[in-house]
Amino acid sequence: MEEQYQQAIRYWTLAQPVVSAYVAAVVRDFRDRDDVLQAISVAVLEAFSSYDPARPFTAWAMGIARNQVGTYLRERKRNRLIFDAETVDLLAVAFEQIDSVQTRKIDFLKECLAKLEGRARQLCELRYQNDLKPAAIGSLLGMTPNTVAKSLQRIRDQLRQCIERYAALEGGQS
Amino acid sequence: MIPDLDPCELIDGYLDDALTADQQEELSTWIKVHPDHARTFAEAMLLHDRLRNTLAAYETPVAMHRSSTIESRRGGLGGSWLMSSVARTTAAAAVLILGLATLWFSISTQTASAAIRELDRIIVNSMRSKDRTFEIVVEDITTERRGKRSAMPESQRPPKPPLDGAALYVRSGNQFVLVRKTQEGLPFVTGSNGQQSWAINTRGPVRVSADVHCFDHDLPGHETSVPLTNLHEGLQQLKVAYELTFSALGPEEYETGDGHEARLLIAVKKRKERGPQRVEIVYDAISGGILRMRFVQMPYGPDRLDLRLSLVSQDELSSDFFEHTSHHVPDRKIEEEN
């Protein structure tokens, strides 16, 4: 039993970044996001005995995630700022196809974030640490919401390029 | 609204919650056009989610807890072939308990980190507006060491005007004005402009001191790092010395007036830390702006107060409002204290 539990934890640890990103893509409220993700992790561990190791684990966990997210969205179907069912399904398929190479690449984010300085670092922290939207950040820093949005877009592009550079470097060394 | 966004801008707008319903519809249509579009969106989301998880203050990655649990258990089970069946059953039960504990720990860790994020939002908002006016209501007073109280020099002084019903005006830089009413209904005003503090009694000279804290002792909290005159410092202290949780409040529990949802952050003092036993902050769920604060068992000399501060206004006060000269007639005698 403990071996099975260990296995479940090991698989879930690897699949969690993808499942978490999928939940974040369709559940907009950050508190709800945490709740839905927790419900998924509990369901994954409870149902692990029915998992067929011949199948990719992430795809199996995504199946559970789709059910949990579906339940959540049905309760909030009147909200226009939520994707429709067809888009949510297409996104689930897209997330299932994200492979371990891509998720491992994102691990370089830590190194890339360490290189961020000054205003870029401040913007990132206000957006992701304090969960502030561009309008709120703008009023804090004396910038227009549009300038903040553009800056955040540029910062994410820079981080993406940095991650690719690290990944290429590692690929070249191995 | 930004017209004609390209797909990359739509994705970034979505990540920052900045799209209108029509723009979101446009993004949804674009995702449906080709599976590659959905993949592009998914990859952007993967980075966005990792950014949030990495940067969220005090966030402890769940994966890290789980990995370390696996490692520690690996070591412990290394000689499992020697175990008796009883020992194996016991070990399995222990592992199950450990697993449940890990799961519970990860849930509680996420809840706590979400509460810290909420507190961070409150702190950021508190830095936005320059001035705040609160009304103070004292709900309850309990006095400890009653027998010793008469020996204290404080008891030999005339009774202080009550805090209940007082108005508190605060500005960054430890500037404050506290207006209390004496039993006769006359104003007793104390304050600080951040460089000197002052007290204006109903009679006698205006007392001014170069010690900025000379007259803030009439407000509880200064002795336990939760000063009511410095909101920012007090909120930071909550992060260090308190366990935090938060929840939504229904309109029947708190009416914000503008239709926004209100939330309640509850901070319970950790053992061995100083300060009020419990702090409750009702705040605007959207802006993070404080609407009401409640302090339970707040140390105040020999007393413990339960008091409530309700936000009355965030309107900017005049630049000289925190000078004593704004609160008394010009020819009043001034007495400088050392």
Q: What is the pLDDT of residue B223?
A: 66
Chain B contact probe: residue of A6, A23, A122, A144 with most B CBs at under 10 A: A6
Q: What span, in angstroms and rounded, lies between the C-alpha atoms of B296 and B90?
A: 45
User: Which pairing describes strands B303-313 and B290-300: parallel, antiparallel, or unpaired?
Assistant: antiparallel
User: Sorting pLDDT into bands at 50, 70 and 90, what band is B73?
Assistant: very low
Tell me how close the Cα of A71 comes to any Cα of chain B, in angstroms. Answer: 20
Q: What is the pLDDT of residue B83?
A: 37
**B113-149: pLDDT as tens digits:** 778 878 877 877 777 667 889 999 998 888 765 444 4
Partner residues linked to B134 by β-bridges: B168, B311
What's the longest Cα–Cα distance across chain A? Answer: 58
Task: Produce one character per residue of B112-139: b if its CB has 16 or more CB atoms within 10 Å, e if not.
Answer: bbbbbbbbbbbbbbbeebebbbbbbbbe
Q: What span, in angstroms and rounded, lies between the C-alpha atoms of B10 and B18?
A: 9
Asked if residue B91 has pLDDT above 60, the reply is no
B142 sits in which H/E element = strand B131-143
- Contact between residue A138 and residue B124 where contact means Cβ atoms under 8 Å apart: no
Which residue from A minimizes the CA distance to B45? Answer: A21
Q: What span, in angstroms and rounded, lies between the C-alpha atoms of B282 and B308?
A: 11
Q: Tokens for B256?
A: 């914000």
Residue that the structure tokens 């922290």 belong to = A125
Asked if residue A96 has pLDDT above 80, the reply is yes
The closest CB to that of A91, out of B41, B55, B124, belongs to B41
The residue-averaged pLDDT of B313-331 equals 88
Closest CA to B78 of A165, A119, A67, A2: A2
Q: Which of A35-49, B244-258, B265-279, B300-314 has the lowest mean pLDDT?
A: B244-258
Residue that the structure tokens 């409530």 belong to = B308
The closest CB to that of B73, out of A6, A16, A127, belongs to A6
In order of A23, A72, A137, B284, B312, the CA distances from A126 in angstroms are 22, 28, 7, 18, 28
Partner residues linked to B138 by β-bridges: B307
Q: What span, in angstroms and rounded, lies between the C-alpha atoms of B142 and B3?
A: 61
Query: What residues contact A107, with CB distance under 8 A and at least 6 apart?
Result: none
Q: What span, in angstroms and rounded, lies between the C-alpha atoms of A53 and A65?
A: 18
CB contact under 8 A, B50 and A93: no
Chain B contact probe: residue of A20, A112, A113, A148 with most B CBs at under 10 A: A20
Asked if residue B71 has pLDDT above 50, the reply is no
Selected from 2.40.50.100, 1.10.3210.10, 1.10.10.10, 3.40.190.290, the CATH number assigned to the domain covering A107-173 reads: 1.10.10.10
Q: Which domains does chain B have, with CATH numbers?
A: 7-55 (no CATH), 62-126 (no CATH), 131-337 (2.50.20.10)
Q: What is the pLDDT of residue B274?
A: 82
Q: B289 in the Ramachandran plot: left (φ > 0), alpha (ψ -120 to 50) or beta?
A: beta
Tell me how close the Cα of B298 comes to any Cα of chain A, in angstroms. Answer: 28
CB atoms within 10 A of CB B32: 16
Number of H helices, E strands in chain A: 9, 0
Q: What span, in angstroms and rounded, lies between the C-alpha atoms of B163 and B175?
A: 18
In sign, the C-alpha dihedral spanning B33, B34, B39, B44 is negative
Query: What residues contact B166, with CB distance under 8 A and at least 6 apart?
Result: B135, B136, B178, B179, B180, B181
Asked if residue B163 has pLDDT above 80, the reply is yes
The Cβ-side half-sphere exposure at B251, using a 13 Å CA radius, reads 4
Which residue from A minimizes the CA distance to B57? Answer: A129
User: Sorting pLDDT into bands at 50, 70 and 90, what band is B226?
Assistant: confident
CB contact under 8 A, B41 and A18: no
Give residue B39's Cα distance to chain centre. Answer: 40
CB contact under 8 A, A25 and B8: no
Q: What span, in angstroms and rounded, lies between the C-alpha atoms of B106 and A3?
A: 20
* Contact list, A149 vs chain B (CB under 8 Å): 12-13, 16, 18
Residue that the structure tokens 């550079």 belong to = A165
User: Which pairing describes strands B175-181 and B197-200: parallel, antiparallel, or unpaired?
Assistant: unpaired
Domain boundaries, chain A: 2-99, 107-173
Q: What is the pLDDT of residue A77?
A: 64
The residue-averaged pLDDT of A123-130 equals 86
CB contact under 8 A, B35 and A95: no
Tell me how close the Cα of A81 comes to any Cα of chain B, in angstroms. Answer: 6
CB atoms within 10 A of CB B144: 11
Q: Which of B39-43, B54-58, B317-321 has the lowest mean pLDDT?
A: B54-58
CB contact under 8 A, A126 and B31: no
Q: What span, in angstroms and rounded, lies between the C-alpha atoms of B109 and B86?
A: 34
Give residue B318's Cα distance to chain centre. Answer: 27
Phi and psi torsions of A34, nearest 5°: -60, -40
CB contact under 8 A, B47 and A160: yes
Hey, what's the torsion of the CAs at B10, B15, B16, B18, to 10 degrees? 40
The closest CB to that of B55, out of A102, A128, A139, belongs to A128
Q: Which of A32-46, A74-88, B205-219, B279-293 has the lowest mean pLDDT?
A: A74-88
CB contact under 8 A, A133 and B67: no
Residue B179 in 3-state DSSP? Answer: strand
CB contact under 8 A, B51 and A128: yes
CB contact under 8 A, B99 and A34: no
Tell me how close the Cα of A133 comes to any Cα of chain B, in angstroms. Answer: 6
Chain B contact probe: residue of A32, A90, A102 with most B CBs at under 10 A: A90
Q: What is the pLDDT of residue B295?
A: 92
User: Sorting pLDDT into bands at 50, 70 and 90, what band is B102?
Assistant: low
Asked if residue B287 has pLDDT above 70, the reply is yes
**B176-222: pLDDT as tens digits:** 999 998 888 888 999 998 888 999 988 889 999 888 778 877 777 76
Q: What is the pLDDT of residue B98?
A: 54
Query: What residues contact A10, with CB distance under 8 A and at least 6 apart?
Result: B70
In order of A35, B53, B102, B283, the CA distances from B231 in angstroms are 31, 28, 36, 14
Closest CA to B309 of B227, B244, B202: B227
CB contact under 8 A, B19 and A81: yes
Touching check for B133 and chain A: CB below 8 Å?
no
Q: Which of B74-88, B141-155, B271-285 has the lowest mean pLDDT?
A: B74-88
Asked if residue B110 has pLDDT above 80, the reply is no
Q: How far apart are the first and last CA of chain B?
A: 59
CB contact under 8 A, B117 and A127: no
The closest CB to that of A38, out of B19, B21, B107, belongs to B107
Class at the top of the CATH hierarchy for domain A2-99: mainly alpha
CB contact under 8 A, B32 and A87: yes
3-state SS of chain A: helix, strand, coil percent to 5? 80, 0, 20
**ipTM of this complex:** 0.91
CB atoms within 10 A of CB B94: 13
Q: How high is the mean pLDDT of chain B?
A: 76
B198 sits in which H/E element = strand B197-200
Tell me how close the Cα of A27 comes to any Cα of chain B, in angstroms. Answer: 12
Touching check for B334 and chain A: CB below 8 Å?
no
